[in-house]
Structure 1
């Protein structure tokens, strides 16, 4: 059974543990739906799947986070057939001598997760990672809503003997009211952009400009192939928000207001989805803990 959070302005749908079942995204707090309740008028939705084709992609949907996209904990030390931990999921098995690949499916032995719904507006996940190669941890994830804001709080306690050094980000699969990507959308950042990509063809459908100190991204047309770019990190506390996505005809929008130090930024998408991704470095010594939070605001521009 899935979980829900609801107040007068937001309805949040959250998957049951194991409903996703893949080896990429955090199983706890896998947010599959966000609805902005517009009293007396049509409500607005934000979350879409990674792919519209069944069986394609890695199973992402809505606001789902991942640990270790590029820094897989313990993978390099694991031999073929041995296990390594993936925070938020479980112990994965290394099948061969190939390098770790985030989009590959690995055998999973899930971690134990306790779920507590404190009230209609707050849900807490507490996961225990069993020891593996010197790594062990407790991950607590609290999801709460207040007015039109959604907050996801993380606390990672290192209970192992080795330092945990990885990264975390949220893959925000957004398609406002399922409207296709194209000139009707604009993506804003609170600073002038210096975007780059290993594959310049992923920039073909994008338009970059600066306006009043903002970095603005637009689309020439509905993209017929995936788009992707990266941007160097910055100190999130310097800005009132980190990114803002607007569907201009309706004015329906979302922004992220997180205030942690951003290690880097990526934007990925295709014809039905736009995903701004804000990364944070996670470095926790044995016996220590690290806490951070992500804050989203859903609104209609006046």
Structure 2
């Protein structure tokens, strides 16, 4: 089943729970299509263009615990550990947790409520697992040219929840390949680094901008330090210069870390939110995106 949100400016497609069945990304509110109706511009692309490759990501899909899987270290081989937004995963062996590895999943139950054509609510109940339990609600809505994803997490268990959440924004404007026609902007000077220097090949950095000298023929990846999102009018902006079409994230939360990943068809800015919940504690945060198009002559 595909859910659709629509107003006068945006059309959003959201996969039904279970359409994605991997052990990495949140199954609820999995946004697979975004269309800016003025000009019919599209933004969402798959993680990989090759069938069967990658981990199944597409469009705007978030993940909890890419670095800190809840309860994994205390889980024995064959036992379960919780992955927020997904389900109870089975530990396979003595290896460290790997976010890209395929773990057996016992999915959580998710309730879906549509409120007209502009809002949808996903309520996921985390089954108790050795003291870990979180009630998670995700609300997706549209207002003018803005798409908002609101999160509410309530620790209903007896143990502290310590993890992180981010959205893997798989973006490619109108299917145009990544290259000199794109610019990725940040509202501050950049100090990027990468564990492998070759992942920076072909990128240039200056005046808060990232540019590509050619269409990448291999993955690129770099990281940025965290920053206070409330200090800036937006966190990042991706612009396709020939068409004047772009998207920016204008969220207002503390960014604990940031990264950018991509290939020749996709750019994925990733802003991380650190989630710490004591038993009984509840926290909310949201991600807000603006989609726009303007005359290329003013770029």
2:69 to 65, 68, 72: 72
1:123 to 105, 120, 123: 120
**Which 5+ residue runs of structure 1 have no aligned equivalent?**
none
Deviation digits for residues 123-175 of structure 1 (CA, Å, limit 9, x no counterpart): 00001001001100100000000000000000000000000000000000000
**1:300 pairs with one of 270, 293, 297:** 293
Which string of whole-angstrom CA distances, capped at 9 and with x for unpartnered residues, describes residues 168-220 of structure 1?
0000000000000000000000000000000000001101111xxxx100001
Alignment of 1:221 onto 2:218: no
RMSD: 0.5
Report the secondary structure of 1:207's partner residue.
strand
2:99 matched to 1:93? Answer: no
Match of 2:228 in 1: 235
Q: Distance in 2 between matches of 1:89 and 1:50?
A: 19
Q: Does 1:15 align with 2:8?
A: no
Taking the TM superposition and a 5 Å limit, the aligned residue runs for 1:26-65 are 26-38=26-38, 42-65=39-62
Q: Does 1:6 align with 2:6?
A: yes
User: Does residue 260 of structure 1 match 2:257?
Assistant: no
In structure 2, how many angstroms separate the alpha carbons of the residues matched to 1:137 and 1:207? 42
CA distance in 1, matches of 2:184, 2:130: 42
The equivalent residue for 1:162 is 159
Report the alpha carbon displacement of residue 301 of structure 1 after superposing the two structures with TM: 2.9
Give me the TM-score of the superposition, normalised by structure 2: 0.98
Determine helix, strand or coil for the equivalent of 2:174.
helix
Distance in structure 1 (CA, Å) of the matches to 2:259 and 2:116? 34
Aligned residue for 1:248?
A: 241
What is the match of residue 169 of structure 2? Answer: 172
1:140-155 to 2 correspondences below 5 Å = 140-155=137-152
